Structure 1
Amino acid sequence: MKLLSLLDHARYEVLPTEGIEEAVLAHVPTERTVTVTASPRRGLGATLDLTERLAGHGYDVVPHLAARMISGRDELAEICDRLTSHGVRRVFVPGGDAEAAGAYADALALLADLRTLGSPFAEVGITAYPESHPTIHDDLTIQAMWDKRQHATELVSNLTFDPTVLATWLARVRARGVTMPLLLGLPGPVDPARLLAVATRIGVGESTRFLLKHRRTLSRLTTPGGFTGERFLLDCAPALTRPDAAVVGLHVFTFNQVAETEAWRRDLVARLGRTRGAAPPTAAGGPTDMS
């Protein structure tokens, strides 16, 4: 998969907070897919309400149906009817950070009930962890991916800042026979202090330590404009562009900085487009295929 194609197939994750609808409308074109997180503090209603409003504006919207926030099959059926009536055809199903509200202790149980309800969504994404989760053992995340693969259509990876970790993890996933296409999780331009705080909380502690060990990378995070992910993409290019990697796009964690994220994406697409057909330097100084 070429880097330009990945950027063309970038979708933006937003948090259902006040003002985000207006920000998306002002800065994100309707051809860009938007995903809406599920917040235990705000409740799943905030996710569904924003999803419906953005869908009404013409966006392809992917709500996060956090399993532990849904009480059981009856509520899930109501949610499915509500979303499909607004033209929503894709969902993302994490386990979620909340205490279980009812029948669903994990994402697998909800995924199984989606099938029982007739598989109302054409595309169903599940979480993938290139790095260790702070509360779930690696063996469990690996087994869960294997168990959930029969109910899902795509993987969405959590954040990582280490290209070597990503390449090794991706090779192992494919070697285990998990063939679903992958959307690579990537942070958009964001205040570095905010990024590091969120990264530690959601399970990328190894990457935080990686940044502290590699002061040049940390220095880039603290320069004006924050971390854009451009150098990370260039360093990952050999792994991402392998045909067997099946990386089909980017899942960009915007932390609601959608204006900055879309401006960065457009600028990078323009610069990569100008170098198409050439052999520009990689982050390490060697050639790469950026067409």
Structure 2
Amino acid sequence: MSTMKIPTGVRRSQRGPRAQRATREQAMRRLLEHTRYEVLPTATTEDKVLAAVPTDVAVTVTASPGKGLEATLTLSETLAGHGYAVVPHLAARMVRDHAELVDIRARLRAAGISAVFVPGGDAEPAGDYTDAFSLLEDLATLADPFTHVGIAGYPESHPTIADDLTVQAMWDKRRHATHVVSNLTFDAATIRDWVGRMRLRGITMPLLLGMPGPIDRAKLLTMATKIGVGESTRFLAKHKGTFARLAAPGGFTGERFLRDCATVAAQPTAGIEGLHVFTFNQVAETEAWRQGLLSELP
């Protein structure tokens, strides 16, 4: 694996501990101030967001086979109506064809939604789109396009796709996307090396760093179950390490992970512009956690 090069003038050996800490804290504040929350479209999600999330925090709405794309679109429209910047997930395999894509684009733009996230999705193809790239190509041909289009990145190995292919996929999609959203990871060194590989490959899009919000294992399992039986099975299979690391005493903590990643984000070549926080619908707890961290920074 290639390691991202640190530009001359900001190498650790050339800066004192106090300067390093100040730079890291500035980067951490920037990430926390440019955070968006991922939520699942359940019956209580709207009320949870309204009760806890300020409207200057963007909200992304997932799409899953268990809930169907309609649940994603409806909640996105509702939250946009409350003044939030909303980013619906348009899982490619859940969209039937070009005609449905045209309808979705028109519907979301009418609601004032200007950003989408386009993963391939876990569902069996509902029609013409077998992957994210094919939908992105069609999306780029439509009038009144979305101004922000996110694609998925995988710092950890994808369950079914080789690491080199996931990096190549980002390169292939770069003409149709504005930024990359990283999937869950728990190791800042993995982020550093992965970002280095991206940038060396010529993938220059800004990155939103994916990380879990503050949630205990029992609540995470509950939320996984709410997605739907089939989807829950896939979720658990893909994120076995998530539960072990969240539950282990002295193991993963979001604050430590974020501080370590802030060191990476402080490098100008990293291009990490904010956080994509997987809340698992623990919205109030996540916002309290973010505000608490901000209050501790200079």
Q: TM-score of the superposition, structure 1-length normalised?
A: 0.85
Shift of 1:193: 4.7
1:136 is aligned to 161
Aligned: 1:21 with 2:46: yes
Q: Note the aligned Cα RMSD (angstroms).
A: 2.1
* Residue 38 (structure 1) aligned to one of 63, 75, 81: 63
* Corresponding residue SS for 1:159: coil
* TM-aligned CA deviation for residue 56 of structure 1: 0.3
Amino acid at match of 2:131: D
Unaligned runs of 5+ in 1: 222-226, 277-291
CA distance in 2, matches of 1:271, 1:163: 21
Does the residue aligned with 1:256 lie in a helix, a strand or coil?
coil
The residue type equivalent to 2:153 in the other structure is A
2:243 counterpart of 1:218: no
The residue that corresponds to 1:66 in the other structure is 91
Displacement over 6 Å in runs of 4+: 196-200, 206-209
Distance 1:132 1:194 in 2: 25
Deviation at 1:25, TM superposition (A): 0.4
State the identity as a percent: 60
Which consecutive unaligned segments of at least 5 residues does structure 2 have? 1-25, 225-233
Larger relative contact order (CA 8 Å, sep ≥ 6) = 2
Aligned pair count reads 263
Tell me: CA distance 1:42–1:204, structure 2 relative to 1, closer, same or farther (3 Å): closer
Aligned mate of 1:185, from 201, 207, 210? 210
Q: 1:51 aligns with which of 59, 72, 76?
A: 76
Taking structure 1 as reference, are residues 228 and 173 closer, same or farther at Cα in structure 2, changes over 3 Å only?
same
Sort the Cα spacing of 1:101 and 1:191 in 2 relative to 1 into closer, same or farther, 3 A.
Answer: same
| In structure 2, distance between residues paired with 1:140 and 1:167 | 19
Q: 1:190–1:38: structure 2 CA closer, same or farther, 3 Å change rule?
A: same
Question: Cα offset for 1:166?
Answer: 1.0
Q: Which amino acid is the alignment partner of residue 168 of structure 1? A: D
Do the aligned partners of 2:39 and 2:279 also contact (CA within 8 Å) in 1?
A: yes
Q: Deviations over 1:51-95 (max 9, x none)?
A: 000000000000000000000110000000000000000000000
Task: Sort the Cα spacing of 1:207 and 1:130 in 2 relative to 1 into closer, same or farther, 3 A.
Answer: farther
**1:2 aligns to what SS in structure 2?**
helix
Asked whether the equivalents of residues 27 and 263 of structure 2 are also in contact (C-alpha less than 8 Å), the reply is no
CA distance in 2, matches of 1:87, 1:200: 31
